Amino acid sequence: MRHGKKVNHLGRKTAHRKAMLANMACSLIEHKRINTTVAKAKALKKFVEPLVTKSKEDTTHNRRIVFSRLRQKQAVTELFREVAVKVGDRPGGYTRIIKLGNRLGDNAEMAMIELVDYNELYNAGKPAKKKSTRRSRRGGGAKAAAPVATTAANKEEE
């Protein structure tokens, strides 16, 4: 039984699995999308998303943490410079998995995993969304209503 064991071992020993995920993450950061099996794509999503979250705040500590997982300086640089700027306003969900069908040789389920903000086909129909702010229940309401009331009073005087 595998109660409480969340890691998909992917048929590999620990060191091999960590090295494979690091290499796949570097490829994903470099090429913005890669084709792989569904199981590897799901494992890669759990590996990459925390790293992208760390990259949103550019500190030496975060760079060292990300480098210890990725093991490639060029990938860390690109993640902190380009990817973090593009996904800075997104609260999570930086990757998308699209299933592609089965592989011819061994009938394995294949998928494409990609960084969400880099796909122009999905983002073409949507207009650039302006940044909305969260409003609290107290405060703000009276201040926002005051200018509207004054403009309505000015129009009545005319």
Taking only the tens of pLDDT, the chain with its 158 residues reads: 889 999 999 999 999 999 999 999 999 999 999 999 999 999 999 999 999 999 999 999 999 999 999 999 999 999 999 999 998 899 999 999 999 999 999 999 999 999 999 988 877 776 666 666 677 777 655 555 555 555 555 555 55
Tokens at 60, concatenated? 């030496």
Please report the DSSP string for 13-37 in residue order: -HHHHHHHHHHHHHHHHHHSEEEEE
List the domains of the chain with CATH numbers. 14-126 (3.90.1030.10)
Measured distance CA(97)–CA(114) in Å, rounded: 7
Report whether 98 contacts 38 (CB < 8 A).
no
Q: What pTM was computed for the model?
A: 0.78
Burial of residue 11 (CB within 10 Å: 0-12, 13-18, 19+) is exposed
CA nearest to 69, candidates 79, 57, 81, 56: 79
Report whether 67 contacts 142 (CB < 8 A).
no
Note the residue count of the chain: 158
Number of C-beta neighbours around residue 36 at 10 A: 20
Report whether 109 contacts 37 (CB < 8 A).
yes
Report whether 76 contacts 58 (CB < 8 A).
no
